[in-house]
Amino acid sequence: MMYMNTQNRCVNIIAHLFNAPLEDSESAVGVGTVGSSEAIMLAGLAFKRKWQNKRRAEGKPIDNPNIVTGANVQVCWEKFARYFEVELKEVKLREGYYVMDPEKAVEMVDENTICVAAILGSTLNGEFEDVKRLNDLLVEKNKETGWDTPIHVDAASGGFIAPFLYPELEWDFRLPLVKSINVSGHKYGLVYAGIGWVIWRNKEDLPEELIFHINYLGADQPTFTLNFSKGSSQVIAQYYQLIRLGFEGYRNVMENCRENMIVLKEGLEKTERFNIVSKDEGVPLVAFSLRDNHRHDEFEISDLLRRFGWIVPAYTMPPDAQHVTVLRVVIREDFSHTLAERLVNDIQKVLHELDTLPSKLSSNVKAADGEDGKPAETRALESKKSDLEKTREITTIWRKFVTARKQKMNVVC
């Protein structure tokens, strides 16, 4: 019971943060989840069931539901679509525009669309999608067609950013078509990994038939989750952070993250070697790519930075911008001004080292031509053989170590 009460308090706090239209004595509708992945599954199921109920009432088929979203969505959306048999209609990206285009998204909406999913804080570059523009366009289309296609906002990364840094930005329940929002407590919610939240606009947006009621724990408890048993530590930690920091505390943390992001961004710009792909208004992260990657690419920078203890991911953009490669640094609470400056210095060292090395392309060509006189197939086999020999050597050493430990433990003093 204590767990449920604490969870409900968190739901109410987050719902008010997202401007849910609640009366003074009204409780918010939402639940704690295992990360935003489960939250998205639950929100998607609610949309699918509402769409099915409406179609059945109208005597229409219910076998081809779809969701419209951008190609920049996180993989959990693909999981939902595949697991629950919903077509995922993705708006392709383009160079220089790495989020969902609202106009193109609304064009793809049809009578089988259960919702349009907007991302508040793209994983690729931290950018906020224009949820207000999407809402306005969708309102007009719903009037023209008689549909009532809703919006879900995936605020996994940005849900604990926008209310504190950009309070005037309209992306949440202030927009009439936004029916549900998910957010990750283990990102900028400042809780360790394993907690997410999904909040619905009101009770009508969560079909009653999806809610289960149990009373064997001492009182009636409604539950709507994909699993039942889970730890309470993350919920308790989330509640502790919410009441300990409050609105001002969270705002101070996020402002500090943004300031350190600017330090890193300006440091990278001074090198004159990178294009900044991320936006100033969004999740506090810096996504950047080389202005010239003909001799060396972003993957080489990522690899060499590991020598300095930095793990900076490099990745290619989704279709139709897959030719663009990006490096990304996420600024968290513990990423300081000093660390930002140190990272810039280490990146400059890596660039200097790469400038002294032959290009990756020429090295690959020489290797393919067999500079050592051996065919490429022979070298590949030797490489595999070498890897196998290393594996056997490590296994042998490990067995000797385990045997020695066993013998030592069996000695009678």
Convert the pLDDT of each residue in 350-392 to its tens digit.
999 999 988 865 555 455 555 555 555 555 555 545 555 666 6
For residues 5-25, one letter each, b for 16 or more C-beta atoms within 10 angstroms of the residue's C-beta and e for the rest, the string is ebbebbbbbbbebbbbebeee
Q: Is residue 376 part of a domain?
A: no
Could you tell me what percent of the chain has a pLDDT over 70?
86
For residue 358, the model assigns a pLDDT of: 86
Residue 70 sits in the same domain as residue 179: yes
Q: Within this chain, do residues 166 and 145 fall inside the same structural domain, yes or no? A: yes
176-197: average pLDDT = 96
Q: Are residues 291 and 184 in the same domain?
A: no
Q: Is residue 381 part of a domain?
A: no
Residue 117 to residue 119: CA distance in whole angstroms: 7
CB atoms within 10 A of CB 264: 24
The answer to whether position 390 is within a domain reads no
DSSP 3-state assignment of 286?
strand
Specify whether 212 is located in the same domain as 129. Answer: yes
- Kindly report, residue by residue over 2-30, the tens digit of the pLDDT: 567 899 999 999 999 999 999 888 899 99
**In this structure, how many other beta carbons lie within 10 angstroms of the beta carbon of residue 413?**
2
Contact by Cβ (8 Å): 158, 282: yes
* Beta carbons of 90 and 69 less than 8 angstroms apart: yes
- Over residues 99-115, the pLDDT tens digits come to 999 999 999 999 999 99
| Residues 91, 105 contacting (CB under 8 angstroms) | yes
Closest CA to 335 of 229, 221, 402, 259: 259
In a shared domain, residues 238 and 270? no
For the beta carbon of residue 259, count every other beta carbon within 10 angstroms.
13
The total number of structural domains in the chain stands at 2
Residues 220 and 333 in one domain: no
Asked, for residue 403, whether it belongs to a domain, the answer is no
Alpha helices in 70-191 (DSSP H): 75-83, 102-108, 131-145, 162-165
Same domain for 107 and 147? yes
DSSP-derived letter for residue 127 is B
For residue 278, what is the DSSP state? S
Residues 283 and 313 in one domain: yes
Place of tokens 């209310």: 163
Residue 364 lies in a domain: no
CA separation for the pair 350, 353 (Å, rounded): 5
Question: What's the pLDDT at 152?
Answer: 98
Q: What is the CATH number of the domain that holds 306?
A: 3.90.1150.160
Residue 206, judged by CB atoms within 10 A of its CB (0-12, 13-18, 19+), counts as buried
Q: Does residue 262 sit within a domain?
A: yes
Pair 282, 126: CB distance under 8 Å? yes
Rounded to a whole number, what is the distance in angstroms from the first to the last CA of the chain? 52
Residue ranges making up the domain that contains 235: 2-247
Query: pTM for this one?
Result: 0.86
CATH (domain of 212)? 3.40.640.10
Are residues 311 and 239 part of one domain? no
Q: Calculate the CA dihedral of residues 306, 308, 311, 312 and round it to 10 degrees.
A: -100
Residue 172 lies in a domain: yes
371 belongs to a structural domain? no
69 lies in the same domain as 214: yes
- Looking at the structure, tell me whether residues 131 and 218 fall in a common domain: yes
Report yes or no: 336 and 275 within 8 Å, Cβ to Cβ: no
Residues 302 and 277 in one domain: yes
